[in-house]
Amino acid sequence: MTQDYKLPDDCTDMRDVRRGVDATDRELMDLLERRFGYMRAAARIKSDRHAVRDEARKAEVVGNARSDAVRRNLPADPLMQIWEDLVETSIAYELVEWDRLREGN
């Protein structure tokens, strides 16, 4: 597949930038789809509903995101908040999936 956008350093106008942003957003959605697939797997694997919320693991994931942002010279605190929201959304999704998989049992 041919890349239909330019990398940031190769952009020469706003059309290039917008194409790159739109392509990146599609890639992010692909990654989120995979991440939520892991949440479905976790819901299937965990035998105890109370195991879905793991505050130590949540802190680890959010902390890793912040550290990675710092290392990449990105805005660490706002990105850490995005990860906080992502993890909370993931937990809520996993709980719904956990319940759905066990309906009628």
The CATH code of the domain that includes 97 is: 1.20.59.10
- Residue 80 within a domain: yes
Confidence label for 56 from pLDDT (cuts 50, 70 and 90): very high
Please state whether the predicted TM-score (pTM) of the whole model is above 0.75: yes
Residues spanned by the domain of 37: 11-102
Please name the residue ranges forming H helices in the chain: 14-45, 55-71, 76-102
Region of residue 54 (phi > 0: left; psi between -120 and 50: alpha; otherwise: beta): beta
Q: What are phi and psi of 16, to 5 degrees?
A: -60, -45
Contact present, 7 and 20 (Cβ < 8 Å): yes
- Residue 6 within a domain: no
pLDDT tops 80 at residue 79:
yes
pLDDT tops 60 at residue 1:
no
Q: Given this model, what pLDDT does residue 8 score?
A: 98
- Residue 10 corresponds to which amino acid? D
- The mean pLDDT of the chain is 96
What's the number of domains the chain is made of? 1
Locate 47 and state its tokens: 């035998």
Q: Given this model, what pLDDT does residue 52 score?
A: 97
Q: Given this model, what pLDDT does residue 60 score?
A: 98
- Residue 1 within a domain: no
